[in-house]
Amino acid sequence: MSELDLSEFEDESWMFEDGLGTLGDEHFMRRALELAKQAAVQDEVPVGAIVVHENKIIATAYNQREQLADPTAHAEMIAITQAASHLGSWRLLDCTLFVTLEPCPMCAGAILQSRIPRVVYGAVDSKAGAVVSLYQLLSDVRLNHRCEVIGGVLAGQCGQVLTEFFERKRKLGKK
Ligand SMILES: [Zn+2]
């Protein structure tokens, strides 16, 4: 086996180390989860995101698609814009994005464009996820940026707020 083959194997292995986040990752994911719950209170699909730079939170956001009547107002998009504004640069070097749900293709695209080196997400989105589920955009060797991905951090709780939100919606719809 050539050396190239080995390095490709190593690339694959970190992609699937689900749930192996550090304690710090859990701490920050809890903050993202609080933001997701805030979204639910405002009748938005509960997804929360934060950006951490040098161990400090520089952006906090939750999905605001309804309030802003903006299809791009996903939590990650808002957090990335905030973080870039804070740093005064479109390159989010040395940053980690925490998001309660696996990013969609649009958000994965924004993650690539902002050169974020590390992404930590909670629940898997089997219907729209573009990190492991439908596409693997953050590890696609054809693109010019790849990032370290940790999935499954507080996945149960992150998924639970979504399940509860849609259950409540369905009940209200039946009345
Ligand atoms: Zn998205």
CA of 136 to the centre of ligand 1 (A): 14
CA of 18 to the centre of ligand 1 (A): 20
63: left (phi over 0), alpha (psi -120 to 50) or beta: beta
Cα separation, 122 vs 56, in Å, equals: 20
Each residue of 52-81: pLDDT tens digit? 999 999 999 999 999 999 999 999 999 999
Confidence (pTM) = 0.86
CA of 141 to the centre of ligand 1 (A): 21
Each residue of 1-29: pLDDT tens digit? 334 443 333 333 333 344 445 668 999 99
Residue 12: active-site member: no
129, 102 in Cβ contact below 8 A? yes
CA of 104 to the centre of ligand 1 (A): 4
Beta-bridge partner residues of 57: 52
Backbone angles phi, psi at 122, to 5 degrees: -95, -95
